[in-house]
């Protein structure tokens, strides 16, 4: 009884597979013989064929009209949006750079004017706070020591 059930299951599996894969010669003969002898298996084949035919007829589906146009519009909008985002980034970059540049100019002017007021002129030496020294002075040990001591 159990053996028969197992055999039935195997044949049913073979039947289902026959719709989707080519069977070997041996399997084909086995299925053909089984279909001839089993009314139940033959009925099963008819049912599956009906189901498959009905589903295969589900082709020819379409989206709503102007489907392609709607996609093309979306793509255009996507491109414009991207271009807009790039423009926004460039504008914000220029604006923030402008602020930084302005702050830098103001700082330099402030430093120069402070220097001018405290040193009484705008020579490079004064601006850089350098003293007029000779090479001999630079290498003189005494000068160096006295500077350190100071």
Partner 1 sequence: MTDEQIIEEIKNGNDSAFRELILRYESIVAATVIGMLGNCAEMDDVGQEVFIRFYNSIDNFRGESSVGTYLTRIAINLSLNELKRRKRHNLFFSRPSEAGIDMADNNENNSYHEKKEIVHAAIQKLNAKHRSVIVLRMIDGYSTRETATILKIPSGTVLSRLARAQIKLKEILAPYILGVL
Neighbours of 33 (CB within 10 A): 11
Neighbours of 116 (CB within 10 A): 13
Mark the segment that binds partner 1 (CB under 8 A) among 64-72, 87-95, 102-110, 125-133.
64-72
Cα–Cα nearest to 34, from 6, 12, 55: 12
Q: Which of residues 75-134 bind partner 1 (CB under 8 A)?
A: 75-76, 78
Complex with partner 1: residue 28 or 107, whichever CB lies closer: 28
> The tokens 């049912």 sit on which residue?
47
Contact 41, 35 (CB under 8 A): yes
By CB under 8 A, tell whether 60 contacts partner 1. yes
Kindly tell me which residue out of 1, 57, 95, 141 binds partner 1, with binding defined by CB under 8 A.
Answer: 57
Structure tokens at 59: 């082709």
Nearest distance in Å: CB 60, partner 1: 7
Calculate the alpha carbon distances from 72 to 66, 69, 99 in Å. 10, 5, 41
Complex with partner 1: residue 14 or 127, whichever CB lies closer: 14
Whole-number Å distance between alpha carbons of 135 and 116? 27
Mark the segment that binds partner 1 (CB under 8 A) among 31-39, 71-79, 98-106, 122-130.
71-79
By CB under 8 A, tell whether 23 contacts partner 1. no
Residue numbers at the binding site for partner 1 (CB under 8 A): 13, 16-17, 20-21, 43, 46-48, 50-52, 54-64, 67-68, 70-72, 74-76, 78
């Amino acid at each position: 009884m159990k053996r028969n059930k197992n055999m039935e299951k195997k044949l049913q599996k073979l039947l289902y597979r026959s719709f989707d894969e080519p069977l070997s010669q041996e399997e084909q003969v086995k299925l053909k013989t089984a279909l001839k002898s089993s009314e139940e298996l033959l009925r099963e084949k008819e049912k599956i064929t009906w189901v498959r035919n009905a589903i295969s007829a589900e082709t020819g589906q379409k989206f709503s009209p102007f489907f392609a146009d709607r996609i093309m519009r979306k793509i255009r909008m996507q491109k414009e949006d991207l271009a807009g985002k790039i423009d926004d980034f460039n504008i914000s970059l220029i604006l923030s750079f402008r602020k930084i540049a302005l702050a830098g100019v103001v700082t330099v002017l402030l430093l120069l004017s402070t220097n001018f007021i405290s040193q009484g002129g705008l020579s490079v030496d004064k601006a850089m706070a350098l003293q007029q020294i000779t090479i001999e002075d630079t290498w003189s040990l005494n000068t160096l020591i006295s500077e350190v001591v100071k």
